[in-house]
Chain A
Amino acid sequence: MLVLAIGVVSIGAGWVSGTTRLVALSVMLVSVVVLVWTAFMGGLETRRALAPYGLLKPGILWLSLFFLAPLWSMFQMSLSSKQSRFDFFPDFTWEWSNYSTALTDFAPQFTRSFVYAAVATVLTLLIGYPLAYVIAFRGGKYRTILLGLVAVPFFTSYLIRTLAWQNLLADSGPVVSLLNTLRLDAPLEWLNIMDNGRLMNTPAAVIGGLTYNFLPFMILPLYVSLEKIDVRLVDAAMDLYTTASGAFRRVVLPLSLPGVFAGSLLVFIPAAGDFVNAQFLGSPSTTMVGNSIQNQFLRELNYPLASAMSFVLMAVITCSVLVYAKFMGTDDLV
């Protein structure tokens, strides 16, 4: 009983601290004292039962204070109102109009974020699946090296990687001139991927950047789930007279779905909230909701509106993850 109470209090502390930090601190102090006291008074049995909570406490408290409590204070902020343009500490007034402003004024940014992130997720899947498949099934003894190669982009700064795409996609850069020599510029222009012979500052460039930056997040979980598959299952399917593509469709693909699921989340979530790619590779007509939040928060200092937008972003992502989990039939993974 006592153990449970301490656990609940330590996790719940974050909710209190949003309003009063003192309460959280005293709760922390009291629970530590109680824990130490019971550990000293009780026998070996109680000590063993209490050990996991003692180990968890510091980390969980940290997360409660700096992950949960901020969400609460951001929720309050999203319902506050600024009395004037220079009011830096808005008052809590149940101002729901922040949400309607966020949704009406920034509808294009929200739409773009989710469309770009969804397209990028599909692209990472299309590029990442064959790569993960080849490493898992045909990598042989080079598996570790190939996996290391996939991780190499992580060793350079995220921003510098994205800046490098400016070099690649520049008007006189390698990608544009390659497309021109292959005479692919006209069809791409027709598909609205290129714009007056340019790739930079187009939606395609932003989506390309997102795809690139989050590709390893797709490959690694895909590899983990593909690697677990017993090759004999494929052999068995072939012995039962299915074709190679049939074996893939009925055996390999269904068994790799957990990897597809995890990879999609790891790509979609950061991509939807990203603003670096839109900033470096896009134009004012390709801004995503991250750009707007950043702008409202750090430049306009309109914290209530920025908070409302963050909350909408999080709500939409949470809902789409739940729907996706239902659709994939992998509820137990979440």
Chain B
Amino acid sequence: MTSAQSSRQKLGRKFINASAVLGLLYLFAPIVVIVLFSFNKPKGKYNIVWQGFTLDNWANPFSKPEFTDALIVSLQVAAVSTVCATLLGTLIAIALSRYRFKGSGAVNLFLVLPMTSPEIVLGSSLATLFLARGVERGFMTVVIAHIMFQVSFVAVTLRARIRGFDWALEQAAMDLGASPRRAFWKVTFPLILPGIIAASLLSFALSIDDFIITFFNAGSLVTFPLQVFGASRVAIPPQLNVLASMLLFGSIAIMVAGLIFESRRQRAASGSSRH
């Protein structure tokens, strides 16, 4: 290999590394802005231009009740819908990964369809159904809508996580005299639980953050994203950035805790298998 060639290769490597770093910076620019502007002291109604540093916004983050209330509504919706969707989605994922049966291909396709339809189509079509049936839109319709898109999400992600699961373990437990129910709860369930938790956390996040589908089915209910959208036309207080930053740091903390927990568990598992 000539030296010209290898120096060109080095340049290429550097170029790719540099563009990756730029990509990461691009991903983080708005995040930095969100956190930074939570310390801003805005003059007008909008929090767009940097005016000066203050800790006031962080001192009373809940001073804008309309945002706090909307956040609570979002958390309530997400709690109810995530529990239901996790249950339904987990059953589907277990059925698909454990059994071979006629029509599983069709079920797979059917699960992917809601994920590959634009949200605006899902939202407006569901609203049309409620309209045609004369159902008043509100808390229940939003929960129904969220369960709808969360079920596919939980089923697909969980199925991917438990693809390599050894179902013979359950058979082994039953050979040792456990009833099918006991075998499931004592063997299978604890092993797939981390996957279920991960999928439900992600779908919880999807529910809290959903705007377009909720927008069509909320009626007079105001969730956090709807409140943000409404306020964006009138006034955006810096407290919004404080709440967003709190959510951000909270989620990062949960993710880091999850990673640490997982690696400890793996270490413990490999440690005990050595004995």
Residues of chain A having any CB pair with chain B under 8 Å: 3-4, 7, 11, 18, 21, 49, 51-53, 55-56, 58-60, 62-63, 66-67, 69-71, 73-74, 76-77, 89, 127-128, 130-131, 133-135, 138, 144, 146, 148-161, 163-168, 170, 172-173, 212, 215-216, 243-245, 265, 269-270, 272-276, 280, 290, 293-294, 297-298, 303, 306-307, 310, 313-314, 317, 321
A272 to B133, CA, bound (A): 29
A260 to B179, CA, bound (A): 46
Residues of chain B contacted by A127 (CB below 8 angstroms): 19, 22-23, 26
A308 to B260, CA, bound (A): 50
- CB distance B110 to A152 under 8 Å? no
Question: Which B245-275 residues have C-beta < 8 A from chain A?
Answer: 247-248, 251-252, 255, 259
Q: Which of B9, B103, B133, B248 contacts A155 (CB 8 A)?
A: B248
- CB distance A11 to B34 under 8 Å? no
- CB distance B23 to A55 under 8 Å? no
Number of interface residues of B (CB under 8 A): 87
A163 to B42, CA, bound (A): 15
With A77-B132, A138-B17 known to touch, is A153 a contact of B91 (CB < 8 Å)?
A: no
B15 shortest CB reach to chain A, Å = 8
Q: Which of A58, A163, A165, A173 contacts B236 (CB 8 A)?
A: A163
A-B CB contact pairs (8 Å), 23 listed = A53-B95, A53-B101, A60-B110, A71-B125, A73-B132, A130-B16, A149-B28, A154-B209, A155-B251, A156-B247, A157-B208, A157-B209, A157-B228, A160-B244, A170-B48, A212-B30, A243-B5, A274-B120, A275-B212, A293-B124, A298-B215, A303-B128, A313-B120
What 8 pairs across the A-B complex have the smallest Cβ distances?
A: A273-B118, A164-B30, A55-B95, A59-B88, A70-B125, A134-B20, A155-B251, A74-B125
Residues of chain B contacted by A55 (CB below 8 angstroms): 91-92, 94-95
B166 shortest CB reach to chain A, Å = 18
- CB distance B120 to A293 under 8 Å? yes
Residues of chain A contacted by B47 (CB below 8 angstroms): 167
Residues of chain B having any CB pair with chain A under 8 Å: 5, 9, 12, 16-17, 19-20, 22-24, 26-31, 33-34, 37, 47-49, 87-89, 91-92, 94-96, 98-99, 101-104, 106-107, 110-111, 113-114, 116-122, 124-129, 131-133, 144-145, 147-148, 151-152, 155, 205, 208-209, 211-212, 215-216, 224-225, 228-229, 232, 236, 240-241, 244, 247-248, 251-252, 255, 259
Nearest neighbor of A317 in chain B, beta-carbon distance: B118
- CB distance A70 to B128 under 8 Å? yes
Residues of chain A contacted by B91 (CB below 8 angstroms): 55-56, 58-59
A148 to B110, CA, bound (A): 30
Of B94, B129, B240, most buried by chain A (CB within 10 Å of CB) is: B129
- CB distance B147 to A62 under 8 Å? yes
Q: Which of B89, B106, B132 contacts A11 (CB 8 A)?
A: B106
Residues of chain A contacted by B30 (CB below 8 angstroms): 153, 156, 161, 164-165, 168, 212
Residues of chain A contacted by B129 (CB below 8 angstroms): 18, 66, 69-70, 73-74
B71 shortest CB reach to chain A, Å = 10
A170 to B151, CA, bound (A): 39
Given contacts A21-B133, A51-B99, A152-B252, 4 further A-B contacts (CB under 8 A): A89-B131, A134-B20, A155-B255, A290-B120
Of B96, B107, B121, most buried by chain A (CB within 10 Å of CB) is: B121
A130 to B33, CA, bound (A): 25
B216 shortest CB reach to chain A, Å = 7
